[in-house]
Structure 1
Amino acid sequence: MSSVPSLLRDLLPRLNELSGTLRRGKLFERAVEATGLPLERPAMSVLGILHLEDAPLRVGEIANRMNVVGPHVTRQVQGLESRGLVRRVADPDDQRARLIELTPEGKAATERYVGVIEGWFSDALSGWTAEDRQALDRLLTRLVDDLTARLSDLD
């Protein structure tokens, strides 16, 4: 265990550097610009979650994935609905409930957004071997899962 504090002294500054690099690179702003729509981060988060799931979701599930409360997502969904990017559909398992799904316009905008981000990361990782990319994915997944588990234990 004595190596963990040393690891954190090395890891945390690197994570801060990564965050700073993403902010300085204005990745979010550039990706949103590619959508052709002036959207804020929370709205893009809703679209991104629906895009990744590739299926309609309840507001509560979207909120859970965003780590926010339901009313926050409801406001975002209302704004996205008014722009024609999402719509409410009946839940086949519970006709009283509604699910949120991307409209074709919402799907196209989200694909443009994701395309910018994927292109940026693909360029950055183009010199990496497949094994290195797989190791990064495996280790980041493990780090997020382990930190999430530890932090949920504190709740």
Structure 2
Amino acid sequence: MAPESPGEPAPALSPDDLLAVLPRLTRLRSALSKGRLVERAAQAASPSLDRPAVGVLVTLLAAGEPLRIGEIADRMQVVGPHITRQVQALEKRRLVRRIADPLDRRASLIEPTETGNEVAHRYVASLLGWFAEVLADWPQQDRDDLLRLLARFADDVTARLALPEGEGEQA
């Protein structure tokens, strides 16, 4: 494929191009889930917490600010009642706490406690450490390109999925 000129739209990917990468994406998804990478990271974070509970803590850590239960659910792409149960269990373990929403005193925000933050940091360190080992032998430029392109791809997929149904679909 010849590189396009600045301002010129990139040629569309052919179905064959996309089909060629599909088995690799499937193998990657399978390797990550069957390889129990996430479960091992959750075990490293706190042996007594399940994945969804750790997911709430990591979501709060990534947000960098307290969130409403609905915001946590949206970011985790699950339903609110599921998060409510997780937050209640985390509160009992003193890993999160509710604080008043300064914009609406009737609502609560959820924030991690110091211990909750420590658990989230252990999880992230375990997961990122594993990926860092995988990429250790890659040239720096390749690592930089992967991170840049993966971030862009994730942002574009997320934005596309957020469009109202029917918008952004190819004919």
TM-score (norm. length: structure 1): 0.89
Residue in 2 that maps onto 1:43? 53
Please state whether the residue corresponding to 2:78 is helix, strand or coil.
coil
Q: Where does structure 2 lack aligned partners over 5 or more consecutive residues?
A: 1-10, 166-171
- Residue 2 of structure 1: CA displacement? 6.1
Q: What is the CA–CA distance in structure 2 between the aligned matches of 1:36 and 1:63, rounded to whole Å?
A: 22
Residue in 1 that maps onto 2:92? 82
Q: What is the CA–CA distance in structure 1 between the aligned matches of 2:124 and 2:26, rounded to whole Å?
A: 23
Q: How many residues align?
A: 155
Matches within 5 A, 1:2-151: 3-151=13-161
Task: Kindly indicate which of the two structures has a greater share of residues assigned to helix.
Answer: 1
TM-score (norm. length: structure 2): 0.81
Q: What is the CA–CA distance in structure 2 between the aligned matches of 1:12 and 1:36, rounded to whole Å?
A: 34
Q: What is the CA–CA distance in structure 2 between the aligned matches of 1:107 and 1:5, rounded to whole Å?
A: 44
Q: Where does structure 1 lack aligned partners over 5 or more consecutive residues?
A: none
Q: Are the equivalent residues in 1 in contact too, given 2:59–2:72 (CA < 8 A)?
A: yes
Q: Are the equivalent residues in 1 in contact too, given 2:39–2:51 (CA < 8 A)?
A: no
* Aligned-pair identity (%): 51
Please state whether the residue corresponding to 1:128 is helix, strand or coil.
coil
**Which one-letter code corresponds to 2:108 in the other structure?**
R
